[in-house]
Amino acid sequence: MRIWTIFKKEMLLYFTSPVAYVVFTFFLLILGYFFYSIFAFYNLTSMQAAMNPAFARDLNIIDAVMRPLFSNTGIILLFFMPMLTMRLFAEEKRSGTIELLLTFPVRDSEVLLGKFAAAMGLFLMLLGFTALYPGIVGYFARAEWGPLLSGYLGLVLLGGAFLAVGVLISSLTENQIVAGFATFGVLLGFWVIGWSADLVGGGWRTLFQYLSILEHLDNFGKGVIDTRDVVYYLSVIVLALFLTMRSLESKRWRG
């Protein structure tokens, strides 16, 4: 019940400030442009393939359109997710309301879960708008719904990991701008570490590839739900939320 109360409060704050509207507008505009470009290229390729039946047999709309779109969505989320989490704890600390919140008869875990659930709820609403794209794909061509559903599962897990890291960093600072840029920096680091895998070999290569946060999204777009990818994202979420709990508890101890 108390988690639900905090969830409703945070959702109200999202929609009474420009944050939700700015994120929704620019995210959907950018992703819409990517979808249009990828789909237009697929149509051009399809017309060329019509003159070459052997090539047409290898043309798959999921591989040609939705897999690149899922990959681009992951990259775009890396830029926008920090905007959803930067104020969750940082603004409470700046305004001094965090002390009042922590003195209420509510557990730190309930505060954390309520805020994280609100950010996750807004993110799921954002993803819901993108369901238009597989609908368009399914209208113009026969689509395989398995890879589409697994692709969205990957995006949900990826978004949850992004948000959990953002919540953690927001709990460490009083400045929401600092929280936003720091979150982006950390997530960017987890992305580019995969590039370093090409420069090293042996066990380091495997480690860098595993730590790359976007590397694990690719299998979902193929329709493959690998337990290693699921465990990776869930581990990031759990670890980040656990560290956030420790951060909140240290705040309570310091009074």
Q: Of residues 93 and 123, which shows the higher confidence score? A: 123
Higher-confidence position of 42 and 169: 169
Give 47-56 pLDDT, tens digit per residue: 766 666 555 5
Residue 92 pLDDT grade (very low, low, confident, very high; cuts 50, 70, 90): confident
**Lowest model confidence (mean pLDDT) among 53-62, 171-180, 192-201:** 53-62
Residue-level pLDDT at 194: 78
- Which of 11-20, 80-89, 123-132, 246-255 shows the lowest mean pLDDT across its residues? 246-255
Question: Which band of pLDDT confidence, cut at 50, 70 and 90, is reported for residue 251?
Answer: low
Share of the chain above pLDDT 70, in %: 87
Measuring CA to CA, which residue among 102, 126, 81 is closest to residue 237? 81
Q: Which range among 83-97, 157-171, 185-199 shows the weakest confidence by mean pLDDT? A: 83-97
Number of domains in the chain: 1
Q: How far apart are the first and last CA of the chain?
A: 26
Band the pLDDT of 233: cuts 50, 70, 90.
very high
Question: In sequence order, what DSSP letters do the residues of the chain get, joined into one string?
Answer: -HHHHHHHHHHHHHHTSHHHHHHHHHHHHHHHHHHHHHHHHHHHHHHHHTT-HHHHHT--HIIIIIHHHHHHHHHHHHHHHHHHHTTTTHHHHHHTHHHHHHHSS--HHHHHHHHHHHHHHHHHHHHHHTTHHHHHHHHHS---HHHHHHHHHHHHHHHHHHHHHHHHHHTT-S-HHHHHHHHHHHHHHHHHHHHHGGG--HHHHHHHHHH-TTTTHHHHHTT---HHHHHHHHHHHHHHHHHHHHHHHHHHHH-
Nearest to 101 by CA among 248, 250, 253, 254: 248
Cβ–Cβ contacts within 10 Å for residue 83, how many?
A: 19
For residue range 97-118, list pLDDT tens digits in order. Answer: 665 565 666 777 888 899 999 9
> Residue 127 pLDDT > 80, yes or no?
yes
- Compute the average pLDDT of residues 17-42: 92
Domain range enclosing 66: 2-254
How confident is the model at residue 54, as a pLDDT?
56
Cα separation, 95 vs 3, whole angstroms: 21
CA distance 12 to 17: 9
Q: The whole model's pTM is what?
A: 0.91
- Reported as a pLDDT band with limits 50, 70 and 90, residue 167 is very high
Instruction: Judge whether residue 243 has pLDDT over 90.
Output: yes
Is 45 a residue whose pLDDT tops 80?
Answer: no
Angle in degrees, CA 83, 84, 87, rounded to 5: 80
Predicted confidence (pLDDT) at residue 178 exceeds the cutoff of 90: yes
| pLDDT of amino acid 228 | 92
246 vs 49, more confident: 246
Residue at token pair 């929609």: 15
User: Could you tell me the pLDDT band of residue 57, with boundaries at 50, 70 and 90?
Assistant: low
